[in-house]
Amino acid sequence: MKKKVILTGDRPTGHLHLGHYVGSLANRLALQSDEAYDPFIIIADVQAFTDYYQHPEIVRQNVFEVTKDYLAVGIDPDRTTIFVQSLIPQIAELTVYFMNFVNLARLLRNPTVKAEIKSKQMGHDVKVGFATYPISQAADILFIAGEVVPVGEDQRPMIEQAREIARSFNQTYELVFPEPEGLYAEVSRLPGIYGNEKMSKSLGNAIYLSDNINELREKVMGMYTDPSHIDYRRPGKIEGNVVFTYLDAFDPDKVGLVELKESYQQGGVKDVLVKERLFEVLERFIGPIRYRRSELSKNPELIEKVLREGTQKTLGRAEQIMKKVRSAMKIHYF
């Protein structure tokens, strides 16, 4: 049976954090060991440029850092093909063709893009490259005929846009593309360490997979709990208490966690005790990742090899699909 193509990826603008882990890395790990799938990961440097075009050195460095994060959490390059977006010219080509299928007003209604324009305070200086990145992301998915796209909830509008483009293209010319389906994570939105907002590099509220033990301890000890829990002997609240949200996501001892929650709600449990538990849970999770990461840092040739071979394999696949695209568009002249 033909394997289903999975396509997902990240912008290389910083190290990956726990939000990336629960939002998509965990899903990718589960899917790569399933024989029914053929997974690809795009390191979206071109998309990173829509935001970081003035900082090419940051994008470049993070292509390697993100690859280390992948390998350190257990993405296996023998099963999952990792490639670099800018090295696949077919994606740029497809983006241009796709632009004909997207209504401008529809494009600008994208809630994720709107939220980014606001949070990055772009005001009236929204660049065309930025506003149109959902089209380029549709090309990221469709150039390889991606069928399943494991992502966080914030990427839903991008998947929707990609589906619309695939449908319009297929209707206008001939059936070339599958309509990709988003696969949304169970715990898709991990809040940052100060609660409320999602975990994100730009908000400075992230715990990174590469944080050292002191950074981790400091961040956990500085986390928000229940702001009205001033006297530890009084009952504390679980809802909206970020420390418990993280324990829910990472503590393997579910029974112990239920007991702790009960005691906390009854009163008599100090916040620092709950934080100590979280610190230990997270260190047990991040410690081995940090170690593998530091080993990988000693071997830059290996990182380059993974990217070179992944990109090479992807180029071959891209050309097969682009042949169909060009023939459907009748631009296969000679």
Query: Residue 7 or 209: which CB sits closer to ligand TRP?
Result: 7
**Letter for the amino acid at 238?**
I
Of 241, 119, 94, the closest CA to residue 173 belongs to: 94
- Tell me the closest approach of the beta carbon of residue 305 to ligand TRP, in angstroms: 23
Collapse the DSSP code of 317 into the 3-class scheme (helix H, G, I; strand E, B; otherwise coil) and give the result: helix
Query: Residue 151 or 289: which CB sits closer to ligand TRP?
Result: 151
Query: Residue 7 or 247: which CB sits closer to ligand TRP?
Result: 7
- Which runs of E-coded beta strand occur in the chain? 4-10, 37-43, 81-84, 148-151, 181-184
- Tell me the closest approach of the beta carbon of residue 151 to ligand TRP, in angstroms: 5
Query: Residue 82 or 149: which CB sits closer to ligand TRP?
Result: 149
- Tell me the closest approach of the beta carbon of residue 134 to ligand TRP, in angstroms: 9
- Tell me the closest approach of the beta carbon of residue 185 to ligand TRP, in angstroms: 12
Query: Residue 149 or 278: which CB sits closer to ligand TRP?
Result: 149
Do residues 69 and 17 make contact, with C-beta atoms less than 8 angstroms apart? no
Do residues 261 and 244 make contact, with C-beta atoms less than 8 angstroms apart? yes
Query: Residue 177 or 279: which CB sits closer to ligand TRP?
Result: 177
- Tell me the closest approach of the beta carbon of residue 154 to ligand TRP, in angstroms: 8
- Tell me the closest approach of the beta carbon of residue 170 to ligand TRP, in angstroms: 19
Cβ neighbours around 58 below 10 Å, total: 14
Q: Can you give the binding site for ligand TRP, defined by CB under 6 A?
A: 7-11, 42, 44, 47, 137, 140-141, 149, 151, 155
Distance, first Cα to last Cα, the chain: 34
CA distance 168 to 16: 35
Cα dihedral 190, 194, 195, 198 sign: negative
Helices (H), 173-299: 213-221, 242-250, 254-266, 271-297
Work out the burial of residue 89: count CB atoms within 10 Å of its CB; fewer than 13 is exposed, 13-18 middle, 19 or more buried: exposed
Residues, the chain, total? 334
Query: Residue 9 or 191: which CB sits closer to ligand TRP?
Result: 9
- Tell me the closest approach of the beta carbon of residue 256 to ligand TRP, in angstroms: 34
Strand 81-84 to 37-43 pairing = parallel
Query: Residue 45 or 251: which CB sits closer to ligand TRP?
Result: 45
- Tell me the closest approach of the beta carbon of residue 50 to ligand TRP, in angstroms: 10
Residue nearest to ligand TRP (CB): 44
